[in-house]
Amino acid sequence: MPKPQRPAARPDLIDVLVTVACFLGAGYLVIVVAGALGLASAGGRASAVLVPLVLASQAAVFLAVFMVVLWHGRGLSLRLLGLGPMPPGWLKRGILWGVGAVLPAIAVNAVTFVLFGVDQTNPQVEMLAPAGPSLWGFLLVLPLVSILVPFVEEVAFRGVLYGWLRHHLKPGLAMAVSAAVFSVAHGIPQLIPALLLVGLLLARLRELEDSLWPCVAMHGAFNAVMTMIMFAALSVGADSMGTDPTQAL
């Protein structure tokens, strides 16, 4: 006799807590592994290969927990998370939103750095290019930050978290809360204002499209442009610690 199928489940508070804990835990794992491997002191091609490997491992840990615990174990619905059929034109719209968010994010970073006198050190730069800019590093990092990382973060923040918030709050408040959690979860205080802006735009797109795919495209396009700017700035002699206010992934 066939086993009866469980009804598709919406995200609940337990799903949200598991998702946030997994995201933060995977990020902590990256820091620990990076320190153990000595990425900052690794040279040339060694660091260029190890950094993407660690980032990919972080994403793999999150996706494994998501698939085993939330999707298979708790029956979370991919469709209700926004991972249903791809809507027509989703890629083009997402890319346009992502590219359009670059200049506002740079402006917010500039205001934050200049007017409020915050620490301009950006750990993302040291993490993505610990030994300075290199073609190997760029070619390996770009696909990760423009495809894999956006997919993982969108599932976590605009899928599980926003899906739960939207079921309990009005759209505007759900967008604000999800964006706030998104910005704080990155763990870089000086980038919170810019990340908050990007999080609001991503949540707005999620609400408009009723799909996660345009958000993945927007996030990927934004990260891709920012990464190209970062490596270009480092290549022409910008401070390797990230004093350029353009860097926010």
User: pLDDT tens across 212-229, in order?
Assistant: 999 999 999 999 999 888
- Domain borders along the chain are 13-235
Q: Which residues contact 143 (CB under 8 A, 6 or more apart)?
A: none
Q: What is the pTM of this model?
A: 0.84
User: H or E segment at 21?
Assistant: helix 13-37
User: pLDDT tens across 58-113, in order?
Assistant: 888 889 888 888 888 888 889 989 999 999 999 999 999 999 999 999 999 888 88
Render 48-98 in DSSP notation, one character per residue: HHHHHHHHHHHHHHHHHHIIIIIIIIT-B-TTTTT-SSPPTTHHHHHHHHH
The 8-class DSSP code of residue 191 comes to G
Q: Which residues contact 25 (CB under 8 A, 6 or more apart)?
A: 61
Report whether pLDDT(2) > 50: no
* Reported confidence tier of residue 1, pLDDT bands at 50, 70, 90: very low
